[in-house]
Structure 1
């Protein structure tokens, strides 16, 4: 999924554009991965899954990121 990130916002929030795209505002600053961690937390909470099920696969240093959701259940 594609995520557009706005760091240093007043509050953590998520706005879904469509099923695969979201705008996420986080209070964390974009320094030493703090904003990336906050993005994963906000997204995981909104989707109701564990943070460990997600990974930022592209865009770790940019505002537009690709997030991959790993397998939720293993056989």
Structure 2
């Protein structure tokens, strides 16, 4: 059975969470059963299947954000939280 595609919110809703300096805060759940990006209580929450080993979960979150924002993954830079669930990305629009 094929895995379902990731659940993504509207790109405009995600862009609305980017601050004036281009930063986007994300709460990450690695090792999830499904890949999803959702907005809960005004925060962006990312669930990825990848385990937090060797940056695999960070790469999966970057790819999920890029897909939601219709950007190349290279336009997202991890600023903080390489080993934390609370991450901050810079969005190069």
TM bucket (normalised to shorter chain) is 0.7 to 0.9
Report the CA distance between 1:63 and its aligned residue.
0.2
Q: How far apart, CA to CA, are the structure 2 residues paired with 1:52 and 1:31?
A: 20
Q: Which residue does the alignment assign to 1:67?
A: 89
After superposition, the CA RMSD in angstroms is: 0.9
Q: For this pair of structures, how many residues does the alignment match?
A: 69
TM-score (norm 1): 0.86
TM-score (norm 2): 0.70
Report the CA distance between 1:15 and its aligned residue.
0.4
Moved over 6 A (4+): none
Structure 1: unaligned runs, 5 residues or longer: none
Q: Deviations over 1:2-61 (max 9, x none)?
A: 10000000111000243xx31000000001000000000001001111101001100000
